[in-house]
Structure 1
Amino acid sequence: MSVTPLSPRGAAPETLLEVNDLRKHFTLGSGLFGRRARTLRAVDGVSFTVARGETLSLVGESGCGKSTVARSLMRLFPPTSGQVVLAGRRIDDLSAGTLRPLRRHIQMVFQDPFSSLNPRMSVRSILAEPIRNFGLAKGSADLDARLGALMERVGLPRDALGRYPHEFSGGQRQRIGIARALAAEPDLIICDEAVSALDVSVKAQIVNLLQDLQKELDLALLFISHDLAIVEHMTHRVAVMYLGKIVEIGPRRDIFLAPRHPYTRALLSAVPVPEPGAGRERIVLKGDVPSPIAPPPGCRFHTRCPHAFDRCRVEEPTLDSVGNGHLAACHLNEAAPARAA
């Protein structure tokens, strides 16, 4: 798979999205027959920022809360608590009516390009819907011009506007999903496992398309994925989630070359090395991920961590700086130097 390497970033641009102590808890059970309701802590205190034109990748095992973060930001799930600030304006506490015109600034591309598109609507109708909803076109001629430009921008022919989703391949459907997100002229696009359902060669095409669009339109991307090989090629910064919390966040190079959390090192050890025969120690984590209904005390990773000691079992580590905008939540960092992966 060939993916265009990401060029180095220049001076830090302004913050577009700021997430402060975001939590999303679900109540399970109704208390019938004497059963007590239980709380599932899907997202349990997550904070990060995304700058204009930046890609932040959110990674971790399935069930760690990545997609719940995305849906909470989009208000598909109302957050339990915390703050979401978009372009300087808090949006998590807005009424539906007040939020509606602001939705065009943050759009989403979903994992399954087939189920996320209405099979009864033509591509023209799918792409025209956000343009009409947000009043972006100045008439039918302007609408037609916008639709044609969107198709060309994502690498599809204009004459395919009259076709329906089932008439396209998986990669082409995902291009339609990207075009639908672009139709609203957003500042930020959330890609929730947007390439995981695609063939390897098609993944590279979609990733390269997203990078080209980012440069052309100065888009910010929140790229949610479990594929660290893809993440390494397309991101500026990486945030690693485990059991509802961010355990490490920092620049791409620091995360991949000098991770400071045992969980990050374990994830990276599973990434295939580019040269056949190159050595890399495989770190196999013991046990299963604990339930978010009853997370362990102290560090949530201590039940699987090969380096856990007594303090880890009783005191939760804070996400502290280890230098260069790199933060990690691990007691080992208070005494240990950086370790290379």
Structure 2
Amino acid sequence: MSGQRILEVSDLKKHFPIRGGLMGGTVGNVYAVDGVSFHINKGETLSLVGESGCGKSTVGKSVLRLFPLTSGQVVLNNQRIDDMPAASLRPIRKQIQVVFQDPFSSLNPRMRVRDILAEPIKNFGLAKTRADIDERIGQLMDKVRLPRDAVNRWPHEFSGGQRQRICIARALAAEPDVIVCDEAVSALDVSVKAQIVNLLQDLQEELGLAMLFISHDLAIVEHMTHRVAVMYLGKIVELADRKQLFGQPRHPYTEALLSAVPVPVPGAVRERVVLTGDVPSPIRPPPGCRFHTRCPYAFDRCRKDEPVLRDVGEGHFSACHLNDGAVADNPLLNKLPPTAFRTEAA
């Protein structure tokens, strides 16, 4: 994995105004993303995980510039793109592509696969003659492991997994440096999920792609990612290497998420951390730590002071006041990690 930084996001914010009142003015904001920072290197996968509504898909769409940002910076290949006018973004879109959750709604039902794949090739001027375009389309079908003669079929003639392969081929057609996978496998069957994940890993190794993998499926994330960023209520609360995060989480929310992952060993059980209460509204986030209303370890400081995402050792970042005290007093460090399990007999 190269150390070359491909994508860098700094203090990204996306607030959606709430309209109301007699005059239809702004009466508040939904703080969907409220100060998110991360980077992705060439050939690296960064997974963005969290509960539904935490803002992870909004981060992906903000990076893709599918809507204007409230504030923050997005730098792609050393070029700032967050403040670019729409007209200037066209050549930039070649560098960053997306694979959405639902492959059927992502594909134009009135276009054959050949035309779907030819569109980005033509748009970005990657081939001049019809023969060159056809050869590129054939190579794309080979890469996603579909037969070449399938390019003459319509999207509805494929299974869900095959359609997602077509979406991946379309993303690859532009020869991007970064692919944003927004819940790209969540709508697929379990066996098909594994095939698509393995395909993405093989393509990353072959092409040196950087990936932002947005998912709520931690079992899939553990299998394919290099680093993980955990989001809660619009903010990243923990960011670490895969082994660090799954082996020893340094935030109570991450601990709870990992404890809910199904145990892979028959007859084994895991100590489950059950969170009480509901996720607070992103319209009025709680003061102090946003997680304190559900945290089993919350104390007075958590209700007043917002913790800063900081390095707690070896590039492991966490936003939790528990990490400011002595190791002996940190409940996260003095029990088995949530990924550990025991047999019923024990």
What is the TM-score normalised by the length of structure 1?
Answer: 0.95
How far apart, CA to CA, are the structure 2 residues paired with 1:84 and 1:246? 16
Corresponding residue number in structure 2 for 1:37: 27
Matched, 1:170 2:168: no
Corresponding residue number in structure 1 for 2:295: 305
Superposition deviation, residue 33 in structure 1: 6.3
Superposition deviation, residue 34 in structure 1: 8.4
Matched, 1:290 2:307: no
Question: Which stretches of structure 1, 4 residues or longer, exceed 3 Å deviation after superposition?
Answer: 33-36
3-state SS of paired residue (2:216): coil
How far apart, CA to CA, are the structure 2 residues paired with 1:88 and 1:34? 40
How far apart, CA to CA, are the structure 2 residues paired with 1:245 and 1:123? 39
- 1:26-46 Cα offsets, whole Å, 9 max, x none, are 001233268861100000000
Corresponding residue number in structure 1 for 2:47: 57
When residues 52 and 36 of structure 1 are mapped into structure 2, their CA distance, relative to the original with a 3 A threshold, is: closer
From 193, 211, 226, the counterpart of 2:216: 226
How far apart, CA to CA, are the structure 2 residues paired with 1:183 and 1:34? 44
How far apart, CA to CA, are the structure 1 residues paired with 2:33 and 2:125? 35
Corresponding residue number in structure 2 for 1:263: 253
3-state SS of paired residue (2:103): coil
From 14, 34, 37, the counterpart of 2:4: 14
Matched, 1:248 2:238: yes
How far apart, CA to CA, are the structure 2 residues paired with 1:230 and 1:308? 30
Matched, 1:145 2:118: no
- 1:114-167 Cα offsets, whole Å, 9 max, x none, are 001110111011111111110001311110100000011101111111111000
Corresponding residue number in structure 2 for 1:109: 99
From 82, 91, 107, the counterpart of 1:92: 82
Share of identical aligned residues, percent? 73
How far apart, CA to CA, are the structure 2 residues paired with 1:77 and 1:260? 33
Corresponding residue number in structure 2 for 1:79: 69
3-state SS of paired residue (1:161): helix
Which residues of structure 2 form unaligned runs of 5+?
A: 339-346
Which residues of structure 1 form unaligned runs of 5+?
A: 1-8
Task: Give the letter for the 1:291 counterpart.
Answer: S
How far apart, CA to CA, are the structure 2 residues paired with 1:197 and 1:251? 26
CA contact (8 A) 2:17 2:26 kept: no
CA RMSD of superposed structures (Å): 1.2
How far apart, CA to CA, are the structure 2 residues paired with 1:31 and 1:188? 42
Superposition deviation, residue 315 in structure 1: 0.5
When residues 336 and 258 of structure 1 are mapped into structure 2, their CA distance, relative to the original with a 3 A threshold, is: farther
Corresponding residue number in structure 2 for 1:3: none
Matched, 1:188 2:178: yes
3-state SS of paired residue (1:32): coil
